[in-house]
Amino acid sequence: MASVVIVDNGGSNINSVCFALARLGVNARLSCDPDAVAAAGRVILPGVGAAGAGMSRIQQYELADCLRQLHQPVLGICLGMQLLFTHSAEGDTPCLDLLPGTIERLPETSAARVPHMGWNQIRIQQPDPLLEGLDQGWFYFVHSYALTADKHPHALALTTHGQPFVAVVRRKNFYGAQFHPEKSAAAGRKLLKNFMEL
Amino acid sequence: MLARRIIPCLDVAAGQVVKGVRFRHHEVVGDIVELARRYADEGADELVFYDITASPQKRSVDIRWVERVAETIDIPFCVAGGIRDVASARRVLHAGADKISINSPALQRPALINELADAFGSQCVVVGVDSIWQVSGYRVKQLTGDIRTQTDAGRETVSWVEEAQQRGAGEIVLNCMDADGVRSGYHLSHLRQVRAICQVPLIASGGAGNMAHFVDVFRHVDVDGALAASVFHRGEIGIPALKNHLQQAGITVRPSPTNGE
């Protein structure tokens, strides 16, 4: 199986991502070295925390250009997905600009508390091998920011919390999931397995 | 639509899951990792592990079992008990826990909530509140893991929940001690009173005795999740059956996995 590098961006969920891959029999390496990232068969960009801190960490290790030039399958998880877009309103942060769009704070209502925390369902907009067998699947979300839209040219799936937002995205080899597949039981295992088989 | 969460709570003492009325006798139920795996497989949405002896004994959580749980299960879990500073919280989160829950240490030093929210984000910081009716209203108890140590925390429940949110709590678990262990239902009126001032997710705890109690708390209080221990540990309520029951009652839940998944 192709080698997997998890970009070590300092988030506390990195171990959880490693454990989830290990349960699939995948031995992933943690690294923030651009050469190791570029040489990987697959790259996972995790992330918990704020967009500004996430981008400065990427810049600190001179990973921005490396990430932009990757041609192997890349999966951004949660904040890692948000960093693939052009810009985040969280701390007014310029991001990697691999996908068009601005990440905004989820609007808070009495029916939709923020952070959006818990299990929610995805609706597939565009079939893709990553989401094979996962329409209407339940995934675990923890976030306050998202790409709120009822359509987006690169959206593979949407979820609704008060209003619709992009749950899964793809442009070329760059994939992103707003939820945490590593914490999403059978549906998450299936998504990670699909990613390994791309 | 966001699902209502079903959260089994596992009380941990000396590295094993124990049961009983939480505030008194403890009897060993089983191995932490085995029970965690069973609940995750049955469709629990999240697990809470309370190290019930850490706070009264003034020691930190043993992170070895936290790591074993994280290696084994793929649903979120929260660790409570014995977290009293950023360093001990970091060890638990890095071991693979998704959230940490603080109770007595936050009452003793409320700035701990701010420090944890600043270090890890509010979404990781749960504040557990043990609330009991006293002559004039609901008040907070501390050090409730051991009947010999528990005392009044000198605070009213509603004002403590307000303060905890202002300081950065991302979720509140309200344990109604009058209902706990009695199994006659969640304490709906008290939960409603706290729901009215609680903008972050609110989890009901204490009193679940049958499936109708879960329907009641979701239908009448708008809590985000319901936590229970003994009804799950004794096998009186199975999680798949509970999820079916809730779904039939029109409550949004994540269905339990069907056989073979």
Per-residue pLDDT, B100: 95
Residues in chain A within 8 Å Cβ distance of B5: 118-119
State whether ipTM is beyond 0.90. yes
Question: Which CATH code for domain B7-248?
Answer: 3.20.20.70
CA separation (Å) from A185 to A64, A191, B118, B123, B210? 31, 10, 29, 20, 26
What residue segments make up the domains of chain A, in order of their start? Answer: 4-196
Specify the length of chain B in residues.
261
A180 an active-site residue? yes
* Residue extents of the structural domains in chain B: 7-248
B227 CB contacts (<8 Å, ≥6 apart)? B7, B8, B9, B48, B173, B203, B204, B205
Radius of gyration of chain B (CA): 17
Over the stretch B62-114, which tens digit does the pLDDT of each residue have? 888 999 999 999 999 999 988 999 999 999 998 899 999 999 999 999 999 99
pLDDT score for B261: 42
Q: Which residue of A has its CA nearest to B94?
A: A12
Q: What is the pLDDT of residue B234?
A: 86
CB A123 within 8 A of CB A165: no
Distance from CA of B4 to the nearest CA of A (A): 8
Check whether B120 has a pLDDT greater than 90: no
Q: How far apart are CA B53 and CA A142, in angstroms?
A: 30
- pLDDT > 70 fraction of chain B, expressed in percent and rounded: 94
* pLDDT above 60: residue B259: no
pLDDT at B25 over 70: no
Q: Tell me which chain A residues have a C-beta less than 8 angstroms from the C-beta of B98.
A: 13, 16, 142, 183
Q: Are A119 and B199 a contacting pair at CB < 8 A?
A: no
- The verdict on A134 touching B (C-beta cutoff 8 Å) is no
| Homologous superfamily (CATH) for A4-196 | Class I glutamine amidotransferase (GATase) domain (3.40.50.880)
